[in-house]
Amino acid sequence: MSGKVFKLQDKQAAAVEPEDSVWLSASAGTGKTQVLSARVLRLLLTEGVAPEQILCLTFTKAGAAEMATRVNEVLANWVRMPDEQLGADLANIGSDIRPETVQRARTLFASVLDCPGGGLRIDTIHAFAQWLLSAFPEEAGLIPGTRPMEDRDRDLLAGRVLRELLVEWQDNDPAAVEALEMLSLRMGPDGARSWLMRCALAREAWFGPAAWQPPMQDRVKRLIGLPADATASELAHDCVDGTHGVDLVRKVMWKYDGWGTKSGQKFAGLIGDWLLLSPEERFAQSGAFLGQLYNDRGLLKYQSSLEKKDDGVTALAGELYDWLTGVADQAALLALVDIITPALEIGRKFAIAWDEAKKREGLVDFDDLIRRAAKLLMNKDMSAWIRYKLDRQFDHILVDEAQDTNAQQWAIIDALTDDFFSGAGQKGDRQRTIFVVGDYKQAIFGFQGTSPQNFARAQARYAELLRVRRENALAERRNLSAHTLQELGLGRSYRTAQPILDVVDAVIDAIGHEAIGLSRTPEPHRGFQRPGLVTLWQPVPGRPEDEGEEDGPEIGVSETERRMADKIAEQVKAWLDRGYPLVKDEKNPRNATPGDIMVLVRKRRELAGLIVARLHAAGVRVAGVDRLRLGAPLAVKDLMAALRFAAQPRDDLSLACLLVSPIFGWSQEQLLEHGYRPKGRPLWDHLRDGDAPLVAQTVEALRDLLARADFEPPQALLHWMLVGPWKARGKLVARLGREANDPIDELLNAALQFSANSTPSLQGFIRWFDAGEGELKREAEGGEDQVRVMTVHGSKGLQAPIVILADACGDPDASRTGGLSLEEELPGATEGLELPLPPLAKEERVGRVSQAEEAAKAAERQEHWRLLYVAMTRAEEALFVGGALGKREKEPAEDSWYARLQPLFGEDWLDDPIWGARMQRGELPPPVEQRSQADLALPIVLPDWATRPIGEEPRPPRPLAPSASAEEQGADPPLAAEQAAIAARRGVLIHALLERLPDVPRDMRASGGRAWLERHGSDLSPAEREEMLERALAVLDVPEWRELFGPDGLAEVPLAATVGDQVIAGTADRLLVTPERVLVADFKTARRPPTRLDDVPQSTLSQMGAYAAALSVIYPGRAIEAAVLYTQTPQLIAIPADMLAANKPHLRTSQGKLSTPVR
């Protein structure tokens, strides 16, 4: 039921008390969203709390939308809910049910709608920061109109900044060019660009009191653990003859020499060569020397043979190894200075230029939003001004998913609550609270800069603040209601069956709570005592013939992963056909439908898209992946190939890709047959000369595209291709499946977005599209009955009765998610400064760098196990775990999810028709007496209109301009260009006189007309001007025309009317309207005017017939008269009514012809 209020249980009820500040640790499925919603409702029910005083901050848009929907639905229901039922709702959330409370509950919906901003402030923290900055751009140091940058905006701007810097460096900074060359050689061009962007994001390193400034060499030395004044000659002092370390080397040389073998002599000679070097050379070559003497286990080469001859070799070898390792590390660190220093220096230059470019372009990234909002709120004077302008005072702040909030985001929350708990912690008569909910076990967004340590530090900080507030309140004997921070935990799951939670607890016990990052073992999970099943499918093994098949039909996935995707599709199809029982609703057990199944993968890889494709091929309803790289789907590639061809017809590759796409459907053989041509000849030129029917048809279609390319924006071209004559959408979906619809729609959205922010040119769109991957995130809330396939990160906050972990065999050490950083300790600061490090080879990662690498690996490993916890707790009734082994793997990786789960199932493998074998814990519910999904499926009969192609959109009738049909071709012999211009000028001036002079008193017309001609025809001779004036006055002086040019006559009158299906629009030169008749006249300035009616050109008769027809509609029941005034003579020729009727306009041209585009 929409807007239903469930009864709060145990600690849930304690967490929603509105006068308490609460820190709530909520395990997965324990109803935290319900608690958050109930907390908001209790606050709104509290006397003195207005909706605008409440701020809710969430981690995802889906979470914000869900909370807002829940609260608004409840409030809407309360407006007209019966008293008894409303009282039950209030009791369910722990509120009193006094009459005044019930009455207040009924008014809350209107209060929320009426509050400033149009509702409760429930936002993601980024959306809140954007809202704040958009309201106060000047105070935040932004230009008005600044907008958040999209991924492609970022990539385009970064490329532009780098190009500008390179131009500048080429002339003025050769050291920077040399440093960039060094980075490009070490990392490749893409790696160098990624490094520069890492530096740009490490803004704190380049701005502020502790900013790094060149020269950086000494500071780099201190950063990596060397003295600032360390030099090679000083560090080489340990390699001088007579030192303990060199003496150890000599002793080992004697041991080899005394062995008396060729190998011994060889190594003795090698050591002797090293001893012949200078101390500086020994120091520089210490790393290579170490590798020559010792193996990877830290043992001397041939150490076991030497030990047989001399027992003392073992201790000597160990002592030398420790000394030589220390010297080699010092040498490696010193060499690192020459790598890190130039990398940081050009990183700083790029970061500063990047910051300036963003300001210049009016763009901010997500980090800017958070940083600037926090800075704005931390300004004491400014924050008061902001609250005044917004008419908001946030007194109650709720934070969801707090474990995934990073340090900068906590700075915003800290700024908002800065004066909540100072002194006795009371603002007038208002109590102020903070409510935070999170779960350390679900902190999985470390790659976005979050850290669960922030969650723990914030909890300690607020606990201390509220403790001090409580003590102050007691000491001052005021605000005695001030409480300490209520630290509560929710452990009962309302989502997952107990057998699944038992496996979750067993996993935590097996890997240890420290592996997740917890300081102590968490309480055992409690869930529903109902049937639940956890199944471990046998991994899909590799085969010898799989060698070399990494790049198969689906690039980026192995052959074993392809087979695994096939098995998953087969398994899901079997469940839906045979029926898989679900019993969470004990009163109404049922069989699973597609919407009950969720497939999860660890990483954003091509595997998710492959599973979607396989499910679709099996006839299973499936949604698209939750993350979509817009340039990757084949449908998008085909449409972009069409646009690339339209922009550059001689792009042979794009044209060939378009021809073999589903849009045109050529086979490879047809392309070879019709595309074979002389070397150097463009494919498009070759096809245009072809005469085969297939080629001619294709060329005609491509010409249609080219005819539009220069005149229509990208989104219009795409729309024409998709639903126009090409019918590209239907063809792409027929070949690629329904999942092609999503990327097609997103491509259209991208084209619209580009046109909204840029000049919509085709080439500009292609360049913008190619600037980045354009990854799109789509919220998957399970509203449709489709299987959902997504990453574990994307599933956060979601759930499903049946969950499949598809790639549980993956090795967490196979790839790292981010670069290394070192923390610089700052005097007097509680936190250090993070400095990014460029990618380094294995032998270069020594000393503090090696320690930082180990710490990063440990943090990633903890997140790896927390990710498993999140994945397992998405399941309500059944969890299935599977995976694929690598080509040469015999078993899953040691620290893979699968390897840690397998020992929990014992040794009893069961036969499985799809997977070969399986192990399971828990129990499968009894079958549900219900027809299977296949039996229930009825053939869908679509109405005719659903499959009938959409026709051309009807266009309105094209207006007929009567004057356009009155061009008197042939009335006058052609004139030279100069004479034609003079004649046209003369006609315009006489026409203007006839328009203006009728309004001038008769005795002033000559002087007024003469003055007007002097101003507007000053380039003409006085005689020419006088001749024009005489002709105009002669027309006005004709007695029978005086009424037309009298005070009742109108000049330059616009006319528009619909005659039949034809719109007639034009301008009458002179119009006289009386109660009995309407007279219309048109002026003609022909040099050789006709002298009688029979000589009037047909075009002029058609024009006047059109005017008469329009006027008969405008003035029905009046006599319509028309005449033509030839100013050269002057002569007014009246056109009889029968001739006007004969020349009434008719639609001789069909609507289709009127709308045919010109190619």
In the annotated binding site for ATP, the residues are 26-33
- The separation between the first and the last C-alpha atoms of the chain, rounded to the nearest angstrom, is 58
Residue 671's alpha-carbon distances to 652, 681, 1070, in angstroms, are: 12, 15, 66
Residues counted in the chain: 1159
Q: Rounded distance, CA 658 to CA 653, Å?
A: 9
Burial of 951 (0-12, 13-18, 19+ CB in 10 A): exposed
Q: Which residues of 449-475 are buried (b: 16+ CB within 10 A; e: fewer)?
A: bbbbebbeebbeebbebbeebbebbee
Percent composition of the chain: helix, strand, coil (DSSP 3-state, to 5): 55, 15, 35
Alpha-carbon span 354 to 1072, nearest angstrom = 69
Peptide bond into 962 cis (omega under 30): no
Question: Quick check: 116 and 392 in contact, CB under 8 A?
Answer: yes
C-alpha separations of 27 from 154, 490, 584 in Å: 37, 6, 20
CA–CA distance, 336 with 328 (Å, rounded to integer): 12
What DSSP assignment string belongs to 268-302? Answer: HHHHHHHHTS-HHHHHHTHHHHHHHHB-TTS-BTT
Q: Which residues are annotated as a binding site?
A: 26-33
From 765, 802, 764, select the one nearest 782 (Cα to Cα). 802
How far apart CA 641 and CA 705 sit, in angstroms, is 12
- Nearest CA to 570 among 880, 889, 780, 921? 880
Three-class secondary structure of residue 1147 per DSSP: coil
C-alpha 293, offset from chain centre: 53
Q: Name residue 205's beta-bridge partners.
A: none
Give me the helix-helix angle, 728-736 and 714-723, nearest 10°.
Answer: 70
The residue assigned the tokens 């007024």 is 1008
220 Cβ contact partners less than 8 Å away, ≥ 6 residues apart: 337, 340, 341, 344
Which residue, 647, 605, 625, is CA-closest to 768?
647
Extract the tokens encoding 246. 């060199």
Report the greatest alpha carbon distance in the chain: 143
Q: Are 1035 and 1005 in contact (CB under 8 A)?
A: no
CA distances from 569 to 534, 575, 577, 622 (A): 19, 10, 12, 10
Ramachandran region, residue 1036 (left: φ > 0; alpha: ψ -120 to 50; beta: rest): alpha
Half-sphere exposure of 64 (CA within 13 A, CB side): 17
Query: Which residues, other chains included, contact 1070 with Cβ-Cβ below 8 Å and sequence gap of 6+?
Result: 994, 1044, 1045, 1049, 1050, 1051, 1053, 1080, 1081, 1082, 1083, 1125
Rounded Cα distance, 685 and 695, in Å: 12
> Which positions ≥6 away from 63 have C-beta within 8 Å?
33, 124, 400, 401, 797
The Cα 1139–Cα 380 span in angstroms is 86
